[in-house]
């Protein structure tokens, strides 16, 4: 498919037909990169995509030991800090 570059201010853009957008699974944001002189457009990823699955795969946190243990109180804890 050949399409014309459209002027958008000082830049140029392309219009992607709706059937192609749906076929590629594009949302409101896409990722652009150049590889070997070619423009690659791929679906954008949400910032926290896959986090839920990663937390589930990590297992429960009920038996996680404290890394630093309990620290002794210092002057700030005894004198300056109030609840």
**Domains in the chain, ordered, with CATH?**
1-45 (2.10.260.10)
pTM of the model: 0.50
- Quick check: 46 pLDDT over 80? no
- The whole-number pLDDT of residue 81 equals 67
Backbone angles phi, psi at 49, to 5 degrees: -60, 130
Backbone angles phi, psi at 45, to 5 degrees: -110, 140
Q: Which residues, listed in sequence order, are joined to residue 49 by a DSSP beta bridge? A: none
Q: Which residue has 């990823």 as its token pair?
A: 45
CB–CB of 17/2 below 8 Å? no
Question: What ranges in the chain are assigned the alpha helix state H?
Answer: 18-24, 51-58, 75
């Amino acid at each position: 498919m050949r399409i014309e570059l459209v002027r958008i201010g000082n830049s140029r853009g392309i219009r992607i037909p709706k059937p192609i957008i749906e076929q590629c699974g594009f949302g409101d944001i896409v990722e652009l990169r150049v590889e070997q002189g070619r423009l690659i457009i791929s679906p954008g990823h949400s910032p926290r995509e896959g986090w839920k699955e990663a937390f589930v795969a990590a297992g429960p946190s009920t038996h996680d030991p404290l890394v630093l243990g309990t620290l002794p109180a210092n002057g700030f804890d005894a004198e300056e800090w109030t609840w």
